[in-house]
Structure formats: structure tokens, C-alpha cells
Amino acid sequence: MTLITEAKKAVISEFVRKAAEYEGIEPEKLVRLISHGYVVLPKNVLREEIKPRAIGMLTSTKVNANVGTSADYINVEEEVEKAVIAQKAGADAVMDLSSGGDLDSIRKRIMEVVKVPFGTVPIYQAARDCRMVVDMDEDDFFRVVERQAKDGVDFMTIHSGVNWVSVERLKRSNRLLGVVSRGGAIIIGWMLHNERENPYYKDFDYLLEILKEYDVTISLGDAFRPGCIHDAGDRVKYTEFIMLGELVEKCREAGVQCMVEGPGHVPLDQIETSVKAMKSVTDNAPLYLLGPLVTDIAAGYDHIAAAIGAAIAGMAGADFICYVTPSEHLALPTVEDVREGVIAAKIAAHAIDLVKDGQRERARQRDYEMSLARKNLDWKRQFELSIDPEKAKEVHGRRRSESDACSMCGDLCAIKLVKEALEERQV
């Protein structure tokens, strides 16, 4: 019995109780949200105990970190280190997007150190296992899903919204960058070469049978996400929205947890519309966003462009943020890039929680405590409350003030001056 099936029967497992405690909400409320599909709690039935991370309505905004090799650079231990650093920085989930080397052994090695929900994109391995992508047969699409499910993968991005309707819409569009989703491009290339429907769409019910057996959460991939500002908000993307909404219904009926992925590159004034449209057509399925990046010209700083977009998207209803690193569009990220990407996304996630129903009070309490620590010039407590305590402590220590304030103002610290003046007046 899958988690969503149990939830529909009002069964509260110990795993759900732990998730509810982490979120600061009642277990009964969390179970109801899961039963409706408004919240997912990814965990493969074969996976050993992991930290529960609920994603969706009324829960805290979560952050995912991607790691993995490329065909150009294969260093397994570095990817393992990235996964460790990402979790230390606060990542709520880790995905292995490896596309180079022994993918089975790489995945298993990374999974050994991941204590939060672990995700993959199976089509990458399906493509690598074949000499030519277009030579895959339909069984290859599903064999890799089952193989990864047996390994204990908790959630998978699968581009089931790609079909002939959406591909024809793409052909008639005036897109500048076309398709930037690697998984989506693999499937579209296969479809066009073989003149056959996407197996993940055509045989979606069979896909759900595999996922249900292992209670794998499906993340319905956004193959047609806009890869630049020029392509944002076009009919291609909205066509896929509708397809994904239909697939969400099928997932819920089958007892498979699902979330939906979204764009992409989106200008500020289109983010709210895009998010609300996705939430509407998917009946409030948890929304997993890459960014969105609010400009195309922030190369080297795309983690900042993405954090800006994520904060706005979160106010409109986004639930799960896929981090973006400074290396986005440029290179495979380094360990430090991964850390910076997670921190930037965590800042956006907390900013969202400050205004999010169900999390506002808890999030604002942390900010209140930080303000209190600043009022008292309590540096130890300020470091503890910071999203990145190590960086805060390091920066503060670079230039120490002779006073108990920081070196920006020293004895002219506004907080210190007013506090002392008020104390003198009371005497």
C-alpha cells in the first residue's frame, strides 16, 4: 500500500508523524493534504530511514540540489562530496543527474551519503545505455525506471507530458531556443526519428504500475520550459501545462504521489501568472521550479537571478525550488558552486515562508529572534540563526571592532548609541 493510499484511509505512519513534527503541523492535517495530492512525502519503500521532507501546501518551502557527472568530467568522489556539502548547507533533497561513467555504481555511491529524498531522471541512463539514443526501444524507457526504483530512488523526473500534440505546437511556434530540457530533447528526438508516440505518455498507466510497486513519487517533467526570456509564457508551455494536469489526475487515481515541474526563464511580470496557471490546471499539485531565472544575462550569477524568481514564484504558490549554481549555462559546478547555489535557494525559501500560509509564524519567529540578537549585540546567537552560520562568522571576523559592535560602524553603531542613550535616561 502506497503512502497516498494509506493517507486516503487516514492511516498515520511514524514517518508521517515525523514529517508533521518537522513542519510544525498536526499529523491529521498532513495526512489529509497527502490524501488529496496537495502534499507529497517522497520515500521509496526499499529505502532505509531518511529524513522526511513534505513538499506542498502549508509545508515549508523545500530546496533541491542537483549533482552528477557529465560525459566530459567524471569524478565520482567529487559528486559524493557535493551531495554531502549540499545537505550540510540545507538541501532538502538531492538529485543525481549523472550522464557519464558507470551510472549504476555512481548512483548507488551517491545514495550512500544522501539522508534526504533522492531523485533521478531515468531517461538519461536509458539514453546512455544505448549506442544511439534513437535506437532505444519502448522497453528501454521502462526498464531503467524499474532498475532505479529497485535501487531505492525516492522520486523521478519523467517527461510524460511530451506527446504529438505538444510537439506539433512546438513546430508551429516562434521559439528562439526551442527545447532546453535534456530529458525532453532526448524523448522528442526519439519520437521524431521513429515517428512514434512518447512511451511515457502512451503507456502512462504501465509507468504508474512500476512506480506504485516501489512507492516512487513522480515529478512530471517540464520538457517545454522556456530556456530564455523570449520564449517565456508561450503556447508551447501552456499546452504542456494542460497535459500535466491530466496526468496528475491519473497519478492520484492510481495511488502514486506526484508533483509537477515548471519553468525556466520567466520575466518578473509573468511569474505569478505562470505559477497560478500551473496550480490551477494541476489541482494544486506540489510545484517544483527551476528558478525561474528572471534574466538571461546573469552568467556567473545565475544563482542570484534564480533566487529572485523563486521568491516571487513562492509567493504565488511554488513549493519546491531546484537550486541554480553560479556555473549554470557555463560549466559543471564545483563543490563551492553547489554550496553557494543551495544557500541562495535557502534564502529564497525562507523569504517565501515568511509570507506562506502554515509557515508564516514559525519563519517570522526566527527573524524576530535574529532582531533580538542584533539588539543585544549577541554575535554568537546571530551566527546560530543565520542561514549560513560559517559565512556569517567568517565575514564578521575579517575586521574586528574594538567595540562590541561590528567594524562597519564601531562605536557609532546606531543600535548601540540609542540603547546606551535610553539606558542613561532611565538612570
- CATH number at 259 reads 3.20.20.540
C-alpha to C-alpha distance for 326 and 249, rounded to whole angstroms: 37
Per-residue pLDDT of the chain (427 residues; tens, 9 = 90+): 899 999 999 999 999 999 999 999 999 999 999 999 999 999 999 998 899 999 999 999 999 999 999 999 999 999 999 999 999 999 999 999 999 999 999 999 999 999 999 999 999 999 999 978 899 999 999 999 999 999 999 999 999 999 999 999 999 999 999 999 999 999 999 999 999 999 999 999 999 999 999 999 999 999 999 999 999 999 999 999 999 999 999 999 999 999 999 989 999 999 999 999 999 999 999 999 999 999 999 999 999 999 999 999 999 999 999 999 999 999 999 999 999 999 999 999 999 999 999 999 999 999 999 999 999 999 999 999 999 999 999 999 998 877 788 888 888 888 888 887 787 766 5
Whether residues 366 and 241 share a domain: the answer is no
Helix 360-375, helix 414-426: angle, nearest 10: 70
pLDDT at 425: 66
Q: Are residues 14 and 123 in the same domain?
A: yes
In 317-425, which ranges are E strands?
A: 320-322
d(CA 317, CA 286) in angstroms, rounded, equals 9
Instruction: Name the pairing type of β-strands 287-290 and 320-322.
Output: parallel
* Domain-terminating residue out of 357, 376, 398: 357
Q: What is the pTM of this model?
A: 0.96
Which three-class secondary structure state does DSSP give residue 59? coil
DSSP code string of 273-333:
HHHHHHHHHTTS--EEEE--BS-S--TT-HHHHHHHHHHHHHHHT--EEE---TTTTTS--
- Which residues form the domain of 344? 3-357
- Do both 289 and 257 map to the same domain? yes
Q: Note whether 369 and 319 are same-domain residues.
A: no
Same domain flag for 222 and 108: yes
At which of 326, 342, 357 does a domain end? 357
At 307 the pLDDT is: 98
Based on the fold, state whether residues 389 and 348 are members of the same structural domain.
no
Rounded CA separation 287/368 (Å): 29
What's the confidence (pLDDT) of residue 78? 98
258 and 399 belong to one structural domain: no
CB 207 within 8 A of CB 247: no
**At which of 297, 323, 357 does a domain end?**
357
Calpha distance 126→122 (Å, rounded): 6
Distance CA 344, CA 349 (A): 9
Asked if 295 and 403 sit in the same domain, the reply is: no
